[in-house]
Structure 1
């Protein structure tokens, strides 16, 4: 990584999809240890990060430059809006959930607002959104001609 380069800018989509998959698996592992609302915070954080990575993969595959994606910061609704323009089709409920996550600032609340956990979406909805993005975006990347590097070995 050269001076001034951003982490991940030189990564290809196969590397990013593998990273997203690892975060998804970690979220599912953390979900299994739920004890109370706060014990779900680590699960939520890694799930939201995986969601962001999956959307980034789709956008990169669609030819969107890393600098433009970085400009979205942690705004999932901007990513979804741009991904829809590039052909991503999501279930209506999933799209609404991603927009709601942004408007409720779930990323920030999950990280810093233990007193606000009651404002977060239900964890089963969060995991369903994560799993849908994995299914749709991973299959798109795997079906790319000549790209066998994204298998889950």
Structure 2
């Protein structure tokens, strides 16, 4: 095993590692009373994300999943960024996990002819807001989202990234 962060496409067998990453962040760090069962996409990543122009990637450190990001094809050359999570010890510039995950997603979106990427987040994720804005996402009103956008109950803030060829 290497001490380097590796970004790989989600594969069968990664399910529990993704759940073990995401649930503690949602529940313990941000206080959302949510279960894996209430997020059916977590148990069906290949069907939910890896269809059409979508995909799902994980960041690994010494074989353990420490980050995730999903791109859900919502049709019409548009996609939704979902399930971007990074384990607390791997946040920031030292490891660059978030930037690496987002970079991979944006590269794949460009190659897959995605023109716009939308995302919803909560008011609580202040560091995420700064991160998305720094990487070219622009805040938009909920009314500007496409009809095919999949809302999460906790989403209160929305962004779009317009992909350049």
Q: Same fold (TM over 0.5)?
A: no
Higher RCO (C-alpha under 8 Å, 6+ residues apart): 1
TM-score, normalising length: structure 1: 0.29
TM-score normalized by structure 2?
A: 0.28
Higher normalized strand content (fraction of residues): 2
